[in-house]
Amino acid sequence: MPAKRIIPCLDVRNGRTVKGINFEGLADVGDPVELGARYAAEGADELVYLDISASKEERSTFTDLVRRIAERINIPFTVGGGISSVEDAARLLEAGADKITVNSAAVSNPQLITDIATRYGRQFVVVAIDAKEIDGVWRVTTHGGSRLTDRELFEWAAEVERRGAGEILFTSMDHDGTRNGYPDETYARLCASLSIPVIASGGAGCVDDIANVLDRGTADAALAASIFHYGEITINSLKRQLSERGIEVRL
């Protein structure tokens, strides 16, 4: 079984790393290149950069940022935000990104997943799914969690896999930024239904939370932001503690 991955997430707005709760109340937490370099040095397996504003006027800014990241960082990194065409994906991959992630555009145009995977290979395509539980049903949302759709988490994840995604990044909006843990049972069900890796996102507040989603939740990777951004734990320390609990990680 492959080692579990630890992936810091850096939400980027106007060239700065920001963090909020339930996708709101954003605060500046640092330079994305410097933070990424620090996390790489601490032992992160990968990084995820998300352009959360993704307005047209910032497209060139974000592409320049991707180039700067590629020049400085020696571990794989994924970028996303506002990708709605093969050309958008091409621009970021050619700037140095190892993978791209699509979310809202994939929901409105699922063929986009297939088109990017056909051109670059499924290993380059991560589909992000943001969902919230409503009356016992996990409903998919788009546009940074602001729009509720009629898609259901598990059926959409299955379609995403069929269409060529290499990984799924699932964020629980109900848990995002709360640091109260991940919905482990939901991750276990999702992972059991798929053959591609699942990255858990939204809710990490301590080592126990990450250990639980990797063990009980059977996620292939844990993505976290707040606990790293605010210096509550280093990635090296986190990995050592996970290893002591019998969870295989790269040390």
Q: Mean pLDDT across the chain, nearest whole number?
A: 91
* 57, 84, 97, 161 from 213: Cα distances, Å: 37, 30, 27, 21
- pLDDT for residue 54: 62
- Looking at the chain, the whole-number percentage of residues with pLDDT higher than 70 is 92
What is the CATH topology of the domain spanning 5-244? TIM Barrel (3.20.20)
- pLDDT for residue 37: 96
Contacts of 135 (CB under 8 A, 6+ apart): none
Of 51, 23, 54, 17, nearest to 37 by C-alpha is: 17
d(CA 249, CA 6): 8
Mean pLDDT value of segment 129-153: 93
d(CA 7, CA 36): 10
pLDDT tens readout for residues 64-113: 999 999 999 999 999 998 899 999 999 999 999 999 999 999 999 999 99
User: Of 45, 51, 88, 130, which residue is the catalytic one?
Assistant: 130
The DSSP secondary-structure symbol of 57 reads G
Backbone angles phi, psi at 137, to 5 degrees: -115, 130
Q: Where does the pLDDT of residue 59 fall: very low under 50, low under 70, confident under 90, or very high at 90 and above?
A: low
| Residue 98: strand, helix, or coil | coil
| Helix/strand/coil percentages in the chain, nearest 5 | 40, 30, 30
Predicted structure pTM score: 0.92
Q: How far apart are the first and last CA of the chain?
A: 16
pLDDT tens readout for residues 171-220: 998 877 667 899 999 999 999 999 999 999 988 889 999 999 999 999 99
pLDDT tens readout for residues 12-22: 888 888 876 54
Q: Can you read off the two tokens belonging to residue 59?
A: 């497209």
Q: Please say whether the beta carbons of 246 and 212 come within 8 A.
A: no
DSSP 168-224: EEEEETTTTTT-S---HHHHHHHHHH-SS-EEEES---SHHHHHHHHHTS--SEEEE
pLDDT tens readout for residues 36-55: 999 999 999 999 998 877 64
Is 11 known to be catalytic? yes
d(CA 120, CA 115): 9
d(CA 123, CA 51): 21
Is 28 known to be catalytic? no
d(CA 173, CA 39): 24
d(CA 91, CA 102): 14
d(CA 43, CA 75): 9
Q: Where does the pLDDT of residue 30 fall: very low under 50, low under 70, confident under 90, or very high at 90 and above?
A: confident
Tokens 């950069």, residue?
49
- pLDDT for residue 133: 94
